[in-house]
Amino acid sequence: MLSMPALCWLCRLPLRMTQHGLCSPCLRQLPALPLLCPRCGLPAGNVRHPCGRCLQKPPPWQALICVNSYRPPFSLWVNQLKFSRVTALRVMLARLLLLSWQNVYRRGDLPRPDLLLSVPLHRRRRWQRGYNQTDLLAAPLAHWLGCEWGTGLHRQRQGALQHQLSARQRRSNLRGAFRLEMAVRGRHIALLDDVVTTGSTSEEISRLLLAQGAASVQIWCLCRTL
C-alpha cells in the first residue's frame, strides 16, 4: 500500500514529524494568548497566581488549561471536530492541548492526571451526532499520558440549551444533570471539554467528582471564551 506523506493542517506542506499535524512555522504563527489566570483561565496579571476573582470565589477545579480563545482558526477547528471525524484534525488538536498542559505542568504546580474524563453529551445528542467530539480528543491524550480514559460519567438530562439562559439559570439547569458510575476516590482527574464559556458545566461536574472523593480536578479545553 502506498503511504501518503502527512500534510500540515494549515499550509498543506509535508510534515517531517507526521504525528504533529502542524509544521513548526505554522505552530509559531498561531495567535498568542494574553496572560491567563491559572485557576479560571481568564485574562489576568500573571500566570502563576490566581486572579482577584478566584481569590474571592475560587472555582471548584484546581486549574484550567486551554489551547486558545474561541477565535479562528481554533473556533473553525472546534466546529470541524463536531461534524467530521477526520483523524488528522483530532490528533492535531489533542497534541495542541497536550502542549498547553505541558507548559503549565513544567512549572510544577499541577499533578499529572491519572484519569481522563470527557464532558458527556446526552444520549439523544450523541446518537444524533454519532459520537462525542470530546471523546475524539480523549483517546490520543490518554494514550500519550499513559493514563486511564474513563467512560463512567453520564449526562442524564439535556435540559434547556445553556446559551439561552442566565448564569443563575444555567446553574439550576445543570443541577443533577450528571451521574457518575465509577470510583474516583483519590484520583487526579483531567476533565476534557471542547469549549468552556461560563464554566458552569465544568463546575457542576467538578463538584460531583470532588464530592465522590477525587483528589483533584483540572479542566482541559480547546477554547476558553475570553
Q: Which residue from 207, 190, 111, 179 is spatially nearest to 149, judged by alpha carbons?
A: 190
State yes or no: residue 97 binds Zn ion (CB under 5 A): no
Residues 7-26 that bind Zn ion (CB under 5 A): 8, 10-11, 23, 26
Q: Which residue from 84, 61, 70 is spatially nearest to 9, judged by alpha carbons?
A: 84
Please, which residue, 37 or 119, has the CB nearer to Zn ion?
A: 37
Strands 148-150 and 115-118: parallel
Return d(Cα 15, Cα 76) in angstroms, integer: 22
Using CB under 5 A, which of the segments 29-37, 80-88, 90-98, 106-114 binds Zn ion?
29-37
State yes or no: residue 190 binds Zn ion (CB under 5 A): no
Using CB under 5 A, which of 21, 36, 40, 78 touches Zn ion?
40
Collapsing DSSP to helix, strand or coil, 195 comes out as strand
Minimum CB distance to Zn ion, residue 23 (Å)? 4
Please, which residue, 37 or 209, has the CB nearer to Zn ion?
A: 37
Cα four-point dihedral sign 212, 109, 64, 97: negative
Using CB under 5 A, which of 20, 36, 37, 70 touches Zn ion?
37
Collapsing DSSP to helix, strand or coil, 118 comes out as strand
State yes or no: residue 63 binds Zn ion (CB under 5 A): no
Phi, psi of 214 (to 5 degrees): -55, 140
State yes or no: residue 95 binds Zn ion (CB under 5 A): no
**At which residue does the C-alpha cell 450523541 appear?**
126
Please, which residue, 49 or 71, has the CB nearer to Zn ion?
A: 49
Question: What are the residues binding Zn ion (CB under 5 A)?
Answer: 8, 10-11, 23, 26, 37, 39-40, 51, 54
